Structure 1
Amino acid sequence: MIRKMGITWHLRLRMAEKGMFQTTALQPLLAERGIHLSREQVFRLVTGTPQRLSTDTLAALCDIPAGETGTSQPRPRRATVRRPIRRETADQDGRRPEPHPTAPPDSSPRTV
């Protein structure tokens, strides 16, 4: 059986994140990068998932930064979630907790 492949196309969402709400705003930005598409072609590119797409067009879409779209505010960066480092602590009697049974043995020598 042939496996069907597909992509999820989020161009309209990415444009909205950059403050672009009209498909006509994309046409001059693509033209600056050497991609000359008609108004109808840009509309179809934004509103639907393309079946075929040239790598030049894809590269131009990826190259359009947030600063060139007419928005004065920079796009917010995603926050990085840092997980706390688990530190081994001694219990009330001063003993260290036993290592997890699947953890590799510690090969470093310890001085007592």
Structure 2
Amino acid sequence: MKRHVEYAWRLRELMAAREMNNISDLIPHLEDRGVALSASQIYRLIGGKPERMNLALLGALLDALDCTFEELCPTTVVAVPARERLTGTEASTAKKDAVRPVRARIHRPE
């Protein structure tokens, strides 16, 4: 079995709990910590689930919201079953049992 890591992004919820309802409420907190982002970058950060993030930005978010990584981004590990592959013996057995078309024969008219 393969293991797949899933995560949730709770930035909007944590901002609301700390009475930060707008993008403009978060910008000064990040700038105080040396992170300068545009309003559109912060909008994408709040609205979506980021796939990659700068560690300086992550640290600034954790400090500005006074939370831990587990509160901001809870993770779970899910076991995903691996695909089963046919071995040579199983594949040959499957081919023998399959219905094969009958070859057409064309006769010339006499």
What is the TM-score normalised by the length of structure 1?
0.53
Counterpart residue type for residue 41 of structure 2 = Q
In the aligned structure 2, how far is the partner of 1:32 from the partner of 1:43?
A: 19
1:49 aligns with 2:49: yes
Give the 4+ runs in structure 1 shifted more than 3 A. Answer: 1-4
Find the counterpart in structure 1 of residue 32 from structure 2. 32
What is the TM-score normalised by the length of structure 2?
0.54
Find the counterpart in structure 2 of residue 19 from structure 1. 19
CA displacement 1:59-78 (0-9 Å, x = unmatched)? 10010156xxxxxxxxxxxx
Higher RCO, 1 vs 2 (CA within 8 Å, ≥6 residues apart)? 2
Find the counterpart in structure 2 of residue 76 from structure 1. none
CA displacement 1:59-108 (0-9 Å, x = unmatched)? 10010156xxxxxxxxxxxxxxxxxxxxxxxxxxxxxxxxxxxxxxxxxx
Whether the aligned pair in 2 keeps the contact of 1:11 and 1:46 (CA below 8 Å) is: yes
Whether the aligned pair in 2 keeps the contact of 1:30 and 1:60 (CA below 8 Å) is: yes
Whether the aligned pair in 2 keeps the contact of 1:24 and 1:42 (CA below 8 Å) is: no
Structure number having the greater helix percentage: 2
Alignment of 1:40-79 (within 5 A): 40-65=40-65
Counterpart residue type for residue 62 of structure 1 = L
In the aligned structure 1, how far is the partner of 2:43 from the partner of 2:6?
A: 20
Give the length in aligned residue pairs.
66
Counterpart residue type for residue 37 of structure 2 = L
Deviation of 1:30 (Å): 0.5
Structure number having the greater strand percentage: 2
Q: Describe the shift of the 1:5–1:65 C-alpha distance in structure 2 as closer, same or farther (beyond 3 A).
A: closer
In the aligned structure 1, how far is the partner of 2:65 from the partner of 2:12?
A: 15
Deviation of 1:4 (Å): 3.4
Percent identity (aligned):
38
In the aligned structure 2, how far is the partner of 1:47 from the partner of 1:24?
A: 14
